[in-house]
């Protein structure tokens, strides 16, 4: 955690993650926070920037559907090569990892440790 007035995710919260399999250390900024319906993050490292928009919608009692969108932009030649390398298999794997981390945080209130 770099900055949070409450110690939790909120508008303007800033935190960093370091997942070596996903490139250099990332800095995340919560750029939009409208609980319980929407959260938007901007994630940046020296290679690329990603904007995530996660919208939530109740579908049945106790169930939620998430619409997860992202825009990935290379910031230099290496970042552009990273963007070009994103194929369906790699993208699905990365999204699965992010979904696992998000679900863990939503369930426990703690970040998932690196495995």
* pLDDT tens-digit series, residues 22-81: 789 999 999 999 988 999 999 999 999 999 999 999 898 888 888 989 999 999 999 999
When pLDDT is averaged across residues 93-115 and rounded to a whole number, the result is 76
How many Cα atoms within 13 Å fall on the side-chain side of residue 22? 21
In the predicted structure, residue 96 carries a pLDDT above the cut 60: yes
Please indicate, yes or no, if residue 8 is contained in any of the structural domains.
no
Please indicate, yes or no, if residue 79 is contained in any of the structural domains.
yes
Residue 53's pLDDT is 96
Number of domains in the chain: 1
Residue 113's pLDDT is 67
Query: 65: domain range?
Result: 14-108
Question: Predicted confidence band at 92 (pLDDT cuts at 50, 70, 90)?
Answer: confident
Residue 81's pLDDT is 92
Please indicate, yes or no, if residue 6 is contained in any of the structural domains.
no
Residue 7's pLDDT is 87
Residue 115's pLDDT is 47
Please indicate, yes or no, if residue 9 is contained in any of the structural domains.
no
Q: Considering only CA atoms, which of 37, 24, 69, 78 is closest in space to residue 50?
A: 69
User: CB-based contacts of 31: which residues, under 8 Å, 6+ apart?
Assistant: 11, 40, 41, 42, 51
Please indicate, yes or no, if residue 4 is contained in any of the structural domains.
no
Please indicate, yes or no, if residue 32 is contained in any of the structural domains.
yes
- pTM of the model as a whole: 0.80
Please indicate, yes or no, if residue 27 is contained in any of the structural domains.
yes
In the predicted structure, residue 21 carries a pLDDT above the cut 90: no
Please indicate, yes or no, if residue 74 is contained in any of the structural domains.
yes
Q: In the chain, where does DSSP find H-type helix?
A: 77-85, 88-108
């Amino acid at each position: 955690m770099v900055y949070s007035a409450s110690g939790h995710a909120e508008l303007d919260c800033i935190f960093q993650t370091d997942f070596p399999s996903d490139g250099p250390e990332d800095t995340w900024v919560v750029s939009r926070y409208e609980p319980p319906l929407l959260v938007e993050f901007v994630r940046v490292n020296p290679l690329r920037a990603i904007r995530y928009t996660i919208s939530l919608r109740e579908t049945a009692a106790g169930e939620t559907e998430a619409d997860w969108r992202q825009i990935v932009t290379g910031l230099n030649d290496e970042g552009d090569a990273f963007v070009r390398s994103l194929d369906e298999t790699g993208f699905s794997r990365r999204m699965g990892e992010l979904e696992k981390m998000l679900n863990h945080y939503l369930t426990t209130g703690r970040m998932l440790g690196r495995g």
